[in-house]
Amino acid sequence: MADGTPGNLAGRVVVVTGGTRGIGRATSDLLAQAGAVVVVTGRDEVRVKTVAAELSEANGVPVTGVAFDVADFDAVGAAFKAIAAQHGRIDGLVANAGILDDALIGMIRPGLVERLLATNVAGTIATVQAAARVMMRKGSGSIVVLASIVGENGGVGQTAYAASKAAVATVARSAAKELGPRGIRVNAVAPGLIDTEMIAHLPKTLVEERITDTALRRLGDPADVARVIRFLISDEARFVTGQVLGVDGGLVL
Amino acid sequence: MTEELTDQLRKVFVEALELPAEVDVENLKYRDIEQWDSLGHMTLVGAIEDEFGVQFDTEQVIDMSSFKVALDMLRGTSVDG
């Protein structure tokens, strides 16, 4: 980035996991608008390629798509190897891929916990590790992971999900300490209730209640989170690391 | 060719780990010296990957416990032709 503004990420190679929907897609779009060379990842190869083509056409910059499951450690390593080989560098990672699965205490199956931890925690660690290895060569980079307001405050029916997101926040804090001396910043964003497919299953009354609990009296838009991620990826945030930044409109749980 | 590879790898070790001249590089093992700790290890791996145009798997990174193992790993990636 030539002038250090978030509007100019020209030439920066940024990988966005889970980049085909919701916050991930909005982030990929904003990064591409800023001139970044975006690599969108997801599990569904057709969808990944389609979204990459759409973002590329809309923004006039190359956007590529790579399909893999972040819960598969070996697949993550292979994918980042291929990305590094193709682009020669990775400047940014948005470790956004995650799943949401709610269950009240008494109805939490072991498989649900395992799935949440495999994707949200192990998947985040795997991508951070794979990206950091490439970033270390240049001695610079910025990583943003996706935590959640429920990871900080908890939520009814979200014991397992909240635990996984609390873990993600600690991934950012630990990785920031370890990678800081190598010029790599690591931060987390903790979104509140954001209007994406992930909350489509929530009862309308609960959503209205949450809006009332939000100081800004509305749901978040994926772009609200994406703007903060773009800031953290950019050199505007060059002295910011190890932070978990709430993007929740003042929601109090 | 093998000797060239050994020399080239020795040079990478010396530069990446900032080794003093008296260190017996070819018999060096992980954590033998202060410079080759876990952080130094990642620097070393990156330097080897850059020098030889290879990328090691996580298991290989963890298993690279000595100069000799690193040399064998490079031979396994066809660097030695």
Query: Of the candidates A73, A81, A182, which has its C-beta nearest B55's C-beta?
Result: A81
pLDDT at position A54 is: 97
Residue A86 to chain B, least CA–CA distance (Å): 13
Residues in chain B with CB shorter than 8 Å from the CB of A77 are: 57-58
Q: Residue A134: which of A10, A14, A11, A7 has the closest Cα?
A: A14
Specify the 3-state DSSP secondary structure of B62.
helix
pLDDT at position B80 is: 52
CATH of the domain at A96: 3.40.50.720
Domain B2-75: CATH architecture, name and number where available? Orthogonal Bundle (1.10)
Residues in chain B with CB shorter than 8 Å from the CB of A129 are: 58
Phi, psi of A77 (to 5 degrees): -60, -45
Query: Of the candidates B46, B58, B61, which has its C-beta nearest A137's C-beta?
Result: B46
Percent of chain B with pLDDT over 70: 94
Q: Residue B56: which of B8, A14, B69, A37 has the closest Cα?
A: B69
**Residue A216 falls inside a structural domain:** no
pTM for the model stands at 0.91
**Residue A215 falls inside a structural domain:** no
Structure tokens at A50: 């389609």
* Per-residue pLDDT of chain A in tens (253 residues, 90 and over written 9): 444 455 689 999 999 999 999 999 999 999 999 999 999 999 999 999 999 999 999 999 999 999 999 999 999 999 999 999 999 999 999 999 999 999 999 999 999 999 999 999 999 999 999 999 999 989 999 999 999 999 999 999 999 999 999 999 999 999 999 999 999 999 999 999 999 988 888 889 999 999 999 999 999 999 999 999 999 999 999 999 999 999 999 999 8
**Residue A85 falls inside a structural domain:** yes
Complex ipTM value: 0.77
pLDDT at position A2 is: 42
Is A161 noted as a catalytic residue in this protein?
A: yes
Structure tokens at A76: 């993550």
**Residue A195 falls inside a structural domain:** no
**Residue A208 falls inside a structural domain:** no
Q: How many domains does chain A have?
A: 1
Q: Give the DSSP H/E element, type plus range, for residue A99.
A: none
Whether the pLDDT of residue B1 is over 80: the answer is: no
pLDDT category, B79, cuts 50, 70, 90? low
Residues spanned by the domain of A79: 13-189+222-246
pLDDT at position B2 is: 80
Mean pLDDT, residues B58-74: 95
**Residue A2 falls inside a structural domain:** no
Q: Are A48 and A42 in contact (CB under 8 A)?
A: yes
